[in-house]
Structure 1
Amino acid sequence: MAKPPTNLYERNELFQKNLQCFPEYIKQQIRKVDLDEVGKWVDIVYTEEGYPICKYKKDGKVKHINSRNPWEQAKNWCNQLPLNQMSTLFVYGCGFGYPLIELLKRVHEDTVVVVFEQNLPIFIAMLHYFDLEPIFRAHNKCIFFLGPFEEFSHYFQNLISTYGLLYLTVPSVLFTPSSRLFKKEYLNIQSHVFERLTQQITAFGNDHYDSLLGLHNMIQNAEIVLENPYLSSLKDKFTNVPAFIVANGPSLDQNMHELKRVKGKGLILCCESAIVPLMKNGIKPDAICVLERTPESYLYHFQNKKYPEDITLLALAVADPRTFASFAGPKVPIFRSFESTSEWINRIVGDGSGLYAGLNVSHLAYELAVYMGANPIVFVGQNFAYGLDGLTHSKQSKYTEDVQEYIEKVKSLPIVYVEGNEDSFVPSNPLWVEFRKGLERLIEQTSHVTVINATEGGAKIKGTTCDTLTNVIEKYCKASLPYRLDTLLNESKKNLDISTRKNKIKSLRIELIKYMDIYRALNQLTSERKIIVEQLLEKDKYGAGQELRQEFEQNNKHIMKFLHRHVHDQFFQQVIMFGYHQMNELGVINTPEKLRYALQIQMELFDNLCVICKSLIRNFQIAVEKLPLEETTSNE
């Protein structure tokens, strides 16, 4: 590599050139840093050979980022790494360039390299001394994240929310030599990174039947959607109104009585299972929020129940159809955003309005409160932790009375201790931790909202302030609601043109039939690819693998058709994720032997995709048959 520039003009020119190699979000981060201040943190001295080495100054101490022979140090570090076995690298620290450059010179062109650099002054200094453009041109699968996790979490989430996640399931973790000087910072980043990866992979789901159940429920609920107001009718209708999200945690029994003072002065949004203790205590929420699609949701909380007509049902459109049919009050079926099947049906019978909705009903309730413009948003009974004597829910809930098998299932989970609101640590479990962290991400994304945790005890929820329910009610529940939620929705329903809306059923039928043809074509594709690969593997048992490589790459292109935005990818993404995970475990696929293994994995993947296509063809036909017959209207 050419020796770095020695004068200020050349360094500034090189900095500007390097800056163009990075995406806009990196440029924005760097532009926020006063370049004149970098010198206060970084000293650059030169080796006898004329290469720059970096010293970092902080709190009166100097940290040496490089050794006196930086290239030798970088080469020795790389020599220890089995790079051919690593398909994805998570690299912590740039090391002022030397280890990063040496690494990128050695890795295979297909290796994905994700670099985390927590120190912006060191990174900016590096851009002034090394020409990175040739390196990045030769290896274009390099992704950077700068600063502490909080500063790049949004961009990292964007990465793993795409199908780029397919290539990140088996990351090899590399700490550059100088990263030991910032051990605490990098371990913190790594903890957050792997936590997010785990959550995102979990969000992919793992149950084809569950996805089919959601499809059939939405098809059966299509008429309910058309007969009732859309979610958009609630947009900002309760601006700056306090909203109380009531969960079914064990602490609910302690302060539930206070909620009677909220009625008419704040919105009470009840997380589904909390409706039982609330109604037993004479507390009518403004709405019941329902997330689940399973029959148990209906059987536990709606079967043979007569709720007052001034309570609203805010339920996902995937909910059991009997839930909507049994409910007397206003109803708003809600479509999920970022879920292909839900968005597809929403485009046909809805108006496009939807919510992410998360993994837990508290996530849905929180998003609803934000969508309606509520502020502050107050959590009640949101423990995410065990109560006294190992209680999991309110003593008055359905679970503690009649559904003991559910409680036993929860209690069978491993115990983990988390930071508490009132105690240093409280017992929880991995499922509740996952739900809590999902809620914390939603809160992080809505910094304009004041979020208060009025739960008695329980786990600390990041992004909230703690206060007693009594204090919150006295402070925020002073004025009456501008109108009741049920009144708003009943008035909205009066203005609906139901007959015109129901014409959308015809469009839904046409779309279902169209996609049956699409999945027949994709099913044919899987059969053809399997035959091609089988013949090739038989023919080229001992060959050099050039043809194997071509078909391997062709297969990858064909597999991506099952993740196209016009296909219902939620049915395919689980098996594709598993197939790519198996291929990632092979490391860099750069030998004929590895190519044969990879092609065999692809054949199994095509088998699974074939099964799913046949299932969808059959189930879409059933869905067509479930739709109401088209009504003929007369002009006479």
Structure 2
Amino acid sequence: MTTISLFDKNMEAIGKRYPDLAKRISGTKNNPFYKLIQTSKGKPNLIIKKGSDLFILYDNDDPVTYCDNYLEKLDLKYAPVVVFMGLGLGYHLDRYFKLLGEKVGTRQIVVFEKDIEIFRLALTVGDFSQIISQPDIHFFVGEPPEEIYVRLKTEILSKRDILIALKSLKIIPIPANIHLEREYYEKILAVFKNAVQQLMVLTGNDSLDSFVGLENIFHNIKHIYSNPGIDTLYGKFAKRPGVLVAAGPSLNKNMHLLEGLQDKAPIISCDASFIPLIKKGIRPHLVTSLERTPGVDLFYSGVDNFSGVYFVALPILMPETIDAFKGRKFIGYRGYSHFNWLEEEKGTLNVGISVANLAFKILIELGCDPIILIGQDLAYAEDGDTHVKGDIFGSRCEHIRNQPVIELEGNNGKPVKSEKSWAIMKNTYEEDIAAYKGTCINATEGGAKIFGAEVMPFKDAIDKYCMEVFKPNLILDEAYSSFSEHVDMPGKISRIKKKLKESKEMLFDSIIEFQEALEMTSQAEKEITQPFLEKDPENINMERLTSIEQKYLDLSDTFGKNRILWDLLSHTMNAYDVCFSNELGFLRDVYSDKQCLAMARVKKLKDWFSVVGMFLTLTRDLLEKTEKSLDEKTAYN
């Protein structure tokens, strides 16, 4: 095959999967400081002139053996996810496939190559068409580190098979690339680590905390059934401007501009900015909360008049929070399996860790375009304030001020002081904006830059987008009134009680299965693992150990296929399951001996049988309490 036909074949594959990259490559010319040469064994190599120095990418005698030796020295035992820092002419990647990929269980590969000119040359000397077409191999070529976060996290790292294997992720630096562009690859690595860390934060690390959300859902049943869903508002404000009011310190500068805006744009307030707005005589159309912790109810305490303000209430909130808001409510769900169990659709909002991120998603679903942000600093004010004046917990949150300070790019182009949780919120905004088909205006007038949002003073944004009067309150009132005030609560409660009974019986049967599995594992530890540790390897019964693995697979499969079990427990168990799967897979990095690995896995599976069994029991007890509570309440008003 000729060089030209190789290039064309590769470009055809790139065009199908990475059309933007194909355009960039087509606009790239050969670099006069790069020269392809032939090694003594006829393989292509590359000489690069950088200043007065010359660099050669590979051993000029035998590039293939050179790459083989390098990969062998890495001593990889288990590598489900591999990240290549550099591609060069592709020898390392090609040899990895042929020597190691299947052997070490590789399922996903990410390749970063800073130099698009080197990448273009690689396409002329090797057939990458099949590799490029593979959905589990991902290329980033010549992309600025600060711009890869969204695609990296949303398209790659969020995949389940990557998420549950992150602990065994392997970084393979390509020596010549690192030597030539060390700073670039260090930045890429920092972005990669940041994306992984934030993904793990959003996944959660506490299944007990997730279980609290399920408890709150059952405590909030009366609110769920007696109020309309947020989905009744979907699209009601199509192509209308929407204003999101967060509680950052810059809100002091432009809060007054909201006066007179209520008839020209729906205004949604985060919980912390609600009372400061009310004190200024500004009544937002919507307000919402996200945190399910004590004290959130205080954001609504002491307010005498909720007229004209609607609460977007998530049933995972503590009942005290929802009860504290005495006005009308729309119910919204998070993307949790718990809500599927209710069989009562209200509208699902997939959000990050911040109430402001939730508010942004609400405006997207309402159809707003543009969405204008104010008070979304995500950074300290120059005087050290963290929140708007009038915040019920003060303008300087001590918890935030005790966190390590980081620097982010500011809206004015200069660095601003921030901290990790604000950075997570910023990155979540950037993900949401990337998926949003409308325009986002950051009118915060200070704070951290949110990539993808257009920076504009709030007054200019009002003059440009918020001049038409259309009275959003009338749209909200109509949507609320159209929801029947005569909900058949007895009928709904009767249905739920029937499902509670059915679910309890199913949970009881599963608890017995997990108890049997736990006993089976305990016996294996006593009769196989313990004698082995006492220097008696004769009792290694691999068939018995394998049967425990099969029991684990069978019970996992039962969860996946049983809709009731899945709806009740999959979100609760998600944080634990991600951690467990990572640790179970990581054992392959620790134990090379098959017998030792099998015994270590059985020990880990014992934990799984125990923890999942505990949550099955907790869930069954919760259903029993809910059933008794419903029996005691004969009517809901």
Tell me the TM-score normalized by structure 1.
Answer: 0.84
Corresponding position: 1:597 with 2:600: yes
Q: How many Å separate the matches in 1 of 2:281 and 2:344?
A: 37
Cα deviation for residue 397 of structure 1 reads 1.3
Contact 2:84 2:111 in 1 (8 A): yes
1:503 matched to which residue of 2?
Answer: 491
1:122-148 deviations in Å (ceiling 9; x for gaps): 667657765789999xxx996333433
Cα deviation for residue 587 of structure 1 reads 4.1
Corresponding position: 1:234 with 2:233: yes
Cα gap change, 1:132 to 1:391, in 2 (>3 Å):
closer
1:116 matched to which residue of 2?
Answer: 111
Partner of residue 557 from structure 1, selected from 553, 559, 573: 553
Cα deviation for residue 553 of structure 1 reads 4.6
Cα gap change, 1:520 to 1:196, in 2 (>3 Å):
farther
1:193-237 deviations in Å (ceiling 9; x for gaps): 222211111112233443233223222333323322221221121
2:458 matched to which residue of 1?
Answer: 469
Q: How many Å separate the matches in 2 of 1:462 and 1:427?
A: 17
Cα deviation for residue 528 of structure 1 reads 2.9
Corresponding position: 1:580 with 2:581: yes
My pick for the range that moved more, 80-89 or 449-458, is: 80-89
1:384 matched to which residue of 2?
Answer: 378
- What amino acid maps onto 1:379 in structure 2? L
Q: How many Å separate the matches in 1 of 2:273 and 2:458?
A: 17
SS of the aligned residue for 2:360 comes to helix
Alignment of 1:413-432 (within 5 A): 413-422=403-412, 424-432=414-422
Q: How many Å separate the matches in 2 of 1:545 and 1:90?
A: 38
My pick for the range that moved more, 597-606 or 553-562, is: 553-562
SS of the aligned residue for 1:418 comes to strand
Alignment of 1:270-309 (within 5 A): 270-298=269-297, 300-309=298-307
Cα gap change, 1:336 to 1:26, in 2 (>3 Å):
farther
Contact 1:166 1:577 in 2 (8 A): yes
Q: How many Å separate the matches in 2 of 1:628 and 1:97?
A: 68
Contact 2:445 2:456 in 1 (8 A): no
2:314 matched to which residue of 1?
Answer: 316
SS of the aligned residue for 1:390 comes to coil
Contact 2:275 2:300 in 1 (8 A): no
Q: How many Å separate the matches in 2 of 1:106 and 1:50?
A: 24
Q: How many Å separate the matches in 2 of 1:535 and 1:141?
A: 43
Corresponding position: 1:620 with 2:623: yes
SS of the aligned residue for 2:332 comes to strand
Cα gap change, 1:308 to 1:87, in 2 (>3 Å):
closer
Corresponding position: 1:53 with 2:45: yes
Alignment of 1:144-293 (within 5 A): 144-147=138-141, 148=143, 150=147, 153-154=150-151, 156-164=153-161, 165-180=163-178, 181-293=180-292
SS of the aligned residue for 2:164 comes to helix
Cα deviation for residue 582 of structure 1 reads 2.8
Q: How many Å separate the matches in 1 of 2:188 and 2:465?
A: 38
Q: How many Å separate the matches in 1 of 2:48 and 2:28?
A: 10
Q: How many Å separate the matches in 1 of 2:181 and 2:541?
A: 44
Cα deviation for residue 311 of structure 1 reads 1.0
Contact 2:78 2:105 in 1 (8 A): no
SS of the aligned residue for 1:400 comes to coil
- What amino acid maps onto 1:582 in structure 2? E
- What amino acid maps onto 1:444 in structure 2? A
Partner of residue 349 from structure 1, selected from 328, 344, 349: 344
Contact 2:263 2:473 in 1 (8 A): no
Q: How many Å separate the matches in 1 of 2:545 and 2:15?
A: 35
My pick for the range that moved more, 302-311 or 240-249, is: 302-311
Q: How many Å separate the matches in 1 of 2:186 and 2:574?
A: 30
Q: How many Å separate the matches in 1 of 2:71 and 2:446?
A: 50
Contact 1:53 1:65 in 2 (8 A): yes
Cα deviation for residue 364 of structure 1 reads 0.9
Q: How many Å separate the matches in 1 of 2:510 and 2:121?
A: 51
1:340 matched to which residue of 2?
Answer: 337
Cα gap change, 1:35 to 1:350, in 2 (>3 Å):
closer
Name the % identity: 23
Q: How many Å separate the matches in 2 of 1:29 and 1:56?
A: 28
1:442 matched to which residue of 2?
Answer: 432
Contact 1:223 1:502 in 2 (8 A): no
Cα gap change, 1:531 to 1:415, in 2 (>3 Å):
same
Cα gap change, 1:25 to 1:320, in 2 (>3 Å):
farther
Cα deviation for residue 580 of structure 1 reads 2.8
Q: How many Å separate the matches in 2 of 1:235 and 1:156?
A: 27
Corresponding position: 1:375 with 2:369: yes
Contact 1:117 1:123 in 2 (8 A): no
Cα gap change, 1:141 to 1:323, in 2 (>3 Å):
closer
- What amino acid maps onto 1:49 in structure 2? K
- What amino acid maps onto 1:625 in structure 2? K
Cα deviation for residue 367 of structure 1 reads 0.9
Q: How many Å separate the matches in 1 of 2:3 and 2:358?
A: 57
Q: How many Å separate the matches in 2 of 1:357 and 1:436?
A: 13
2:328 matched to which residue of 1?
Answer: 330
Contact 1:231 1:333 in 2 (8 A): yes
Cα gap change, 1:527 to 1:183, in 2 (>3 Å):
same
Contact 1:310 1:486 in 2 (8 A): no
SS of the aligned residue for 1:313 comes to strand
- Which runs of no fewer than 5 residues in structure 1 stay unpaired? none
Q: How many Å separate the matches in 2 of 1:90 and 1:167?
A: 13
Cα deviation for residue 270 of structure 1 reads 0.8
Q: How many Å separate the matches in 1 of 2:54 and 2:340?
A: 55
Contact 2:7 2:124 in 1 (8 A): yes
Q: How many Å separate the matches in 2 of 1:553 and 1:127?
A: 44
Q: How many Å separate the matches in 2 of 1:378 and 1:290?
A: 19
Cα deviation for residue 278 of structure 1 reads 0.9
- What amino acid maps onto 1:493 in structure 2? S
1:364 matched to which residue of 2?
Answer: 358
- What amino acid maps onto 1:472 in structure 2? A
Tell me the TM-score normalized by structure 2.
Answer: 0.84
Q: How many Å separate the matches in 2 of 1:516 and 1:546?
A: 36
1:388-422 deviations in Å (ceiling 9; x for gaps): 43222122110118xx8xx3222221122222224
Q: How many Å separate the matches in 1 of 2:166 and 2:328?
A: 45
Corresponding position: 1:75 with 2:75: no
Cα deviation for residue 444 of structure 1 reads 1.9
